[in-house]
Amino acid sequence: MPREELEAILLVGGKGTRLRPLTLSAPKPLLPTAGVPFLRHQFARAAAAGVTHLVLATSYRAEMFRAAFGDGSALGLSIDYVYEEVALGTGGGIRNAASLLRSGPDDPVVILNGDVLSGHDLGAQLDVHRKAEAAVTLHLVEVPDPAAFGCVPTDAAGRVTAFLEKTPHPVTNQINAGCYVFTRSVIDAIPAGRVVSVERETFPGLIGSGQTVMGYVETAYWLDLGTPAAFVQGSSDLVQGKLASPALPGPVGPYLALPGATVADGATVDGGTTVGARAHIEAGAEVHGSVLFDGARVGAGAVVRDSVLGAGAQIAEGAVIDTAVIGDRAVIGSGNELAKGVRVWPDVRLDPTSIRFSSDA
Ligand code: GTP
């Protein structure tokens, strides 16, 4: 494969349990993030680094990925899909995707997690990989509290010396950021047909057998969108331009309104909120740093802070929610003040006797 034609595998097979109930109807990598499925931001970044062919390693709700992106031609990419009937873990998923790779044994292959938002320089990570003729090159970020993660020490030449599990006394503040460059032949050497974790098995195995595993340390914007709080933060950061994304479907600003969305005069909408297609916010409502999926409604005087409203969810007049996740079509009746961090399952109707919207009057 010519040098400029790069391939990437995207790991998108996880169940996204920490983001339930949003992930009951769609897998995490397809959740609308700053107005487009999250993967669109990943695709745009990969394409900017020269990736032309993508293999999506799917399992949970696999059919939804092909329905969303087809063969990729509308996005200027070539996209293939592999399926794991039983999820094979990160390493097993990468190995399973190898059957559709076109690269030769010595070519680099980029691996991206389907839920990490990163502003690092993928081209520079590839350069480190090529220069060192490494088996694998990992993107590492430095975090203030490495005890919450496994840590990844490197030597003076940037070579990874160990892959350590979570410990109260980490030896370094460098952690695995979830974006790898693998030499193709190293992917083919991962055992096929069984569950494999790259973090627990592949990387420690490569280091133990003396192969070159490089760390590319760059602490750019980096966020793992695994939790509801991180999901709303990632989306609002993209809308506000804290991380530039060519996939953002509108100008950077205090909020993003998709086609058919309406924000009444006298409503306050800011903090990088996304107002989904045909979603509606009434006068006097305050919506800060939130994600409103298509068709969601916020009534007059209601307050929505750092929350996600699923498709068609309704927050009636005067209700207050904070860091909440409201499932698709759920309804929060007028004047309800929900405890912080509440998750409401799809179609639940809280206090349905008093659901007022001034636009219904
Ligand atoms: P939680 O259940 O909330 O932990 O989320 P998750 O299932 O997505 O797991 P995690 O956040 O650890 O996964 C990181 C990335 O790897 C995500 O993009 C997942 O979609 C993906 N992933 C996790 N497990 C598998 C797997 O078994 N197969 C494949 N193909 N991808 C996986």
Successive 10-residue mean pLDDT values, the chain, 361 residues? 75 94 94 97 94 97 97 96 95 97 96 95 97 98 90 96 88 95 98 95 96 95 95 98 96 97 97 98 98 98 97 96 96 92 95 76 68
DSSP string, 46-92: HHHTTEEEEEEEEBTBTHHHHHHHTTSGGGTSEEEEEE-SS--HHHH
The atom number, within ligand 1, closest to the CA of 87 reads 27
Identify the residues whose C-beta falls under 6 Å from ligand 1.
Answer: 11-18, 28-29, 57, 59, 84, 87-90, 93, 113-115, 226
Using the atom order of ligand 1, give the atom closest to the CA of residue 115: 18
Instruction: Decide if 288 contacts 305 (C-beta within 8 A).
Output: yes
pTM over 0.85: yes
Q: Which of 115, 149, 179 to mutate to test the pocket of ligand 1 (most atoms within 8 A of CB)?
A: 115
Distances (CA, A) of 236 to 182, 253, 318, 326: 32, 10, 24, 17
Whether residue 224 contacts residue 29, with contact meaning beta carbons closer than 8 Å, is answered with no
Q: What are the structure tokens assigned to 163, written together? A: 């892959």
Distance 351 CA to ligand 1 centre (A): 36
If you measure from the C-alpha of residue 183 to the centroid of ligand 1, how many angstroms do you get, rounded to a whole number? 22
For position 166, what pLDDT does the model report? 83
What DSSP character marks residue 191? Answer: P
The structure tokens listed for 70 are: 């087809």
Domain 254-354 listed as CATH 2.40.10.10? no
Q: How far does residue 27's CA lie from ligand 1's centre (Å)?
A: 10
* Mutation probe of ligand 1 site: the residue of 15, 90, 202, 225 with most atoms within 8 A of C-beta: 90
Query: How far is residue 119's CA from residue 140's CA, in Å, rounded to a whole number?
Result: 12
Rounded to whole angstroms, the Cα distance separating 274 from 114 reads 21
- Residue nearest ligand 1's atom 24 by CA: 14
**Concatenated DSSP letters of 257-320:** E-TT-EE-TT-EEETTEEE-TT-EE-TT-EEES-EE-TT-EE-TT-EEES-EE-TT-EE-TT-E
Quick one: pLDDT at residue 360? Answer: 77
CA distance 35 to 58: 22
pLDDT at 2: 42
Domain ranges of the chain: 6-224, 254-354
Closest to 273 measured CA to CA, from 260, 286, 256, 285? 256
Secondary structure letter of residue 201 according to DSSP: I
pLDDT at position 276 is 98
pLDDT at 165: 82
Q: What is the pLDDT of residue 355?
A: 75
169: amino acid identity, one letter: H
Quote the tokens at residue 164.
């350590």
Whole-angstrom distance, CA of residue 22 vs CA of residue 16: 9
Ligand 1 nearest-atom number relative to CA 195: 27
Average per-residue pLDDT in the chain? 94
Cα of 123 from ligand 1 centre, angstroms? 25
Whose CA is closest to atom 29 on ligand 1?
13
pLDDT of residue 352: 64
Side chain identity, residue 29: P
The pLDDT tens digits for 57-68 are 999 999 999 999
Q: Whose CA is closest to atom 5 on ligand 1? A: 16
Ligand 1 atom having least distance to the Cα of 57: 30
- Ligand 1 center to 12 CA (angstroms): 6
Percent helix, strand and coil across the chain, each to the nearest 5: 25, 30, 45
199 with 189: CB under 8 angstroms? no
Question: How many angstroms separate the Cα of 133 from the Cα of each of 183, 249, 291?
Answer: 9, 38, 43
What are the tens digits of pLDDT across the range 227-263? 999 999 999 999 999 999 999 999 999 999 999 999 9
The one-letter amino acid at 86:
V
CATH code matching the domain that covers 6-224, chosen among 3.90.550.10, 3.30.200.20, 1.10.1060.10, 3.10.20.30: 3.90.550.10
CB 296 within 8 Å of CB 310: yes
Give 317 Cα–ligand 1 centroid separation in angstroms.
Answer: 38
List the residue whose alpha carbon is closest to atom 11 of ligand 1: 226
Per-residue confidence (pLDDT) for residue 353, from 0 to 100: 66
Give the distance (Å) from ligand 1 centre to CA of residue 200: 14
Of ligand 1's listed atoms, the one at least distance from the Cα of 19 is 3
Per-residue CA distances from 322 to 2, 33, 52, 271, 308 (Å): 51, 19, 41, 14, 9
